[in-house]
């Protein structure tokens, strides 16, 4: 009596994917549909082996999933059985280097190449990514679960977990040796591919190692999370790093606080960001880690911009620039110069100097391969718009939007590009770009840019003579809006139009309703009705 419908078909597809399309596993999962919904079955498959343990009459007709796995496992030589069990510690894909460091250690005598070849031939390991030129591998989910149970039963779980975490930390630390140099850009795709392992290794180390041992990767990870636009991981793991810091060196604590501060700032929690960044700067002033201090001052300056404290942003930028020049590393000039450009822009001072600093920073970012900083930490397109140089503004904005594709910062870059289109009167292009920007910002947790996108959609609603929609959007935008987004030259005309159409009372109610909307309703509001005709006036 079970029916596949438009409502459950995606979940059913996810169930099939969750068991890697293995026919026996699909059949056993399907048998659960007698008593459970597809959503419930999918939730159980987090631990597929126990979820697919058969207790029905189907067991008499087919081998159980575990029996089938036992049969395949018993065909392997003992060396390969050990390797397979150890590979279960990898949460996703792995390569030969990871396999050698984690799985092909004594007492295993087989080489990584021989072992992976035999495991692939035995159909217990999948080959992935050969088209990229470097093969990667993964265990089917059920086999990974099976191997994990073997590890626990053999009392080797701690040894293998430590080996995996040490391997991951070694990769992170090698990447960290290239921070503030063009070489770090080459590590970004490697760390992106390693992201599931980074989370697993952090969880392992923070649960079992000393805090100082775990925090050695904090600085590198902060730069990685920043560059890929991942404030969610930054704040989540940064907070766990700070759970118990007694006896941990100040510079490691400061690095963890930078992680939390960055995440909080982007996610719209200015109080938390200020607390963490102030703490990081204070810890580093008494030490001998000027590069870390430069980074902390840059972060503190950007939090200052969010709360409208332009003078502090300028002071942080100036101090950071002086420190970098004292060290003599030209790459260290990029962040302070960009922050100076922002400070001058938001203070209403010389646009010429703001653009000059920003262009110098942009050139350095380009050589560094720092996509994130080119995308959102440089106000060049906004400065050019303010100067009336729309051709340059569009060029800057299009360049960074292309660079940001596939990163968490894509939403911010799209919002900036939409602003350029709007100022040129290209409302349809601005609307389409904003719709993509608001979605990508929400996906990545870029709360600041999500709210700015809502504000700019309110401007477009005014152009479309839709007073109620504009009031809802502008009310929603003011919740968690950074101070630099509360530009009176933008907000006041929106408010005035909405009041003229709705009246003061209805305007107040509509803005309050917008402010209290959850994300799902906000996304419906942001997209619905945004392509109505633009009034010529």
Cβ atoms 448, 268 nearer than 8 A: yes
Q: Is the pLDDT of residue 64 over 80?
A: no
- DSSP labels for 58-74? GGGTS--HHHHHHHHHH
Q: How much is the average pLDDT of 262-275? A: 94
Name the residue with higher pLDDT: 236 or 407.
236
User: Which pLDDT belongs to residue 61?
Assistant: 46
Q: Is the pLDDT of residue 17 over 50?
A: yes
Q: Report the SS3 class of residue 236.
A: helix
User: Which pLDDT belongs to residue 46?
Assistant: 79
Q: CA–CA separation, 226 vs 372, rounded Å? A: 7
Q: Is the pLDDT of residue 57 over 50?
A: no
SS3 track for 489-508: HHHHHHHHHHHHHHCHHHHH
Q: CA–CA separation, 471 vs 511, rounded Å? A: 5
Residue 136 structure tokens: 């990667």
User: Which pLDDT belongs to residue 59?
Assistant: 46
Residue 121 structure tokens: 């031939």
Residue 324 structure tokens: 């970098």
φ/ψ bin of 105: left (φ > 0), alpha (ψ from -120 to 50), beta (otherwise):
beta
| Structure confidence by residue, pLDDT tens digits, 222-251 | 999 999 999 999 999 999 999 999 999 999
List the single range of 59-73, 324-338, 365-379, 502-516 with lowest mean pLDDT.
Answer: 59-73
Tracing tokens 């995440």 back to the chain, one arrives at 263
Q: Is the pLDDT of residue 295 over 80?
A: yes
Residue 217 structure tokens: 């990767």
| Structure confidence by residue, pLDDT tens digits, 487-507 | 899 999 999 999 999 999 999
Using alpha carbons, list the distances in angstroms from residue 47 to 50, 90, 182, 188, 412. 6, 15, 42, 31, 37
pTM as predicted:
0.87
Q: Report the SS3 class of residue 126.
A: strand
Q: Is the pLDDT of residue 537 over 50?
A: no
Q: Is the pLDDT of residue 536 over 50?
A: no
| Structure confidence by residue, pLDDT tens digits, 414-454 | 999 999 999 999 999 999 999 999 999 999 888 989 999 99
Cβ atoms 358, 374 nearer than 8 A: no
Q: CA–CA separation, 25 vs 19, rounded Å? A: 6
Q: Helices marked H in 369-426 — which ranges?
A: 371-375, 380-386, 390-404, 410-423
User: Which pLDDT belongs to residue 411?
Assistant: 92
User: Which pLDDT belongs to residue 125?
Assistant: 95
Q: CA–CA separation, 333 vs 356, rounded Å? A: 13
Using alpha carbons, list the distances in angstroms from residue 423 to 292, 387, 394, 434, 464. 39, 12, 10, 13, 15
Kindly state the percentage of the chain with pLDDT values over 70: 96
User: Which pLDDT belongs to residue 154?
Assistant: 85
User: Which pLDDT belongs to residue 252?
Assistant: 97
CA 506 to chain centre: 39
Q: Is the pLDDT of residue 387 over 50?
A: yes
Residue 413 structure tokens: 């870059």
Q: CA–CA separation, 445 vs 233, rounded Å? A: 10
CA 220, 226, 230, 234 torsion-angle sign: positive
Q: How much is the average pLDDT of 91-107? A: 95
Q: Is the pLDDT of residue 533 over 50?
A: no
SS3 track for 310-336: HHHHHHHHHHHHHHHHHHCCHHHHHHH
Q: How much is the average pLDDT of 159-187? A: 96
Residue 506 structure tokens: 């209805």
Tracing tokens 């510690």 back to the chain, one arrives at 89
Residue 221 structure tokens: 């990870």
């Amino acid at each position: 009596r079970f029916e596949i419908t438009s409502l459950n078909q995606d979940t059913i597809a996810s169930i099939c994917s969750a068991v890697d399309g293995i026919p026996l596993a699909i059949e056993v999962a399907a048998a659960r549909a007698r008593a459970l919904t597809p959503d419930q079955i999918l939730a159980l498959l987090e631990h597929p082996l126990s979820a697919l343990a058969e207790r029905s009459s189907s067991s008499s007709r087919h081998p159980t999933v575990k029996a089938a796995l036992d049969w395949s496992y018993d065909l392997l030589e003992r060396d390969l059985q050990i390797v397979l069990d150890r590979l279960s510690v990898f949460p996703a894909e792995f390569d030969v280097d990871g396999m050698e460091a984690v799985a092909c250690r004594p007492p295993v005598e087989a080489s990584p190449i021989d072992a992976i070849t035999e495991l692939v031939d035995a159909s217990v390991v999948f080959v992935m990514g050969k088209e990229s030129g470097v093969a990667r591998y993964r265990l089917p989910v059920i086999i990974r679960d099976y191997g994990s149970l073997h590890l626990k039963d053999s009392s080797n779980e701690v040894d293998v977990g430590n080996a995996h975490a040490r391997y991951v930390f070694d990769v992170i630390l090698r990447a960290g040796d290239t921070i503030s140099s063009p070489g770090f850009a080459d590590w970004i795709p490697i760390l992106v591919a390693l992201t599931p392992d980074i989370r697993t290794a952090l969880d392992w180390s923070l649960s079992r190692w000393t805090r100082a041992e775990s925090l050695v990767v904090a600085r590198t990870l902060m730069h990685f999370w920043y560059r890929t636009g991942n404030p969610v991981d930054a704040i989540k793991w940064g907070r766990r790093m700070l759970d118990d810091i007694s006896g941990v060196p100040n510079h490691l604590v400061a690095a963890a606080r930078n992680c939390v501060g960055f995440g909080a700032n982007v996610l719209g929690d200015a109080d938390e960001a200020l607390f963490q960044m102030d703490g990081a700067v204070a810890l580093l002033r008494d030490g001998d880690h000027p590069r870390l201090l430069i980074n902390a001052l840059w972060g503190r300056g950007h939090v200052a911009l969010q709360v409208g404290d332009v003078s502090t942003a300028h002071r942080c930028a100036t101090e950071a620039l002086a420190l970098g020049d004292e060290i003599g590393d030209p790459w260290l000039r990029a962040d302070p110069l960009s922050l100076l450009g922002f400070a001058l822009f938001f203070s209403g001072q010389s646009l010429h100097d703001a653009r000059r600093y920003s262009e110098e920073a942009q050139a350095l970012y380009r050589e560094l391969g720092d996509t994130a900083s080119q995308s959102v930490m440089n106000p060049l397109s906004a400065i050019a718009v303010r100067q009336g140089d729309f051709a340059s503004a569009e060029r800057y904005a299009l360049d960074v939007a292309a660079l940001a594709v596939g990163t968490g910062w894509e939403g911010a870059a799209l919002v900036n590009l939409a602003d350029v289109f709007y100022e040129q009167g290209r409302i349809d292009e601005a609307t389409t770009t904003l719709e993509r920007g608001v979605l990508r910002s929400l996906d990545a947790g870029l709360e600041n840019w999500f709210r700015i996108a809502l504000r700019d959609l309110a401007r477009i609603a005014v152009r479309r003579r839709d007073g109620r929609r504009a009031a809802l959007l502008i009310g929603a935008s003011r919740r968690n809006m950074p101070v630099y987004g509360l530009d009176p030259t933008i907000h006041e005309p929106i408010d005035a139009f909405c009041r003229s159409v709705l009246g003061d009372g209805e305007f107040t109610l509509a803005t309050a309703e917008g402010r209290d909307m959850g994300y799902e309703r906000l996304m419906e509001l942001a997209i619905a009705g945004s392509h109505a005709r633009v009034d010529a006036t």
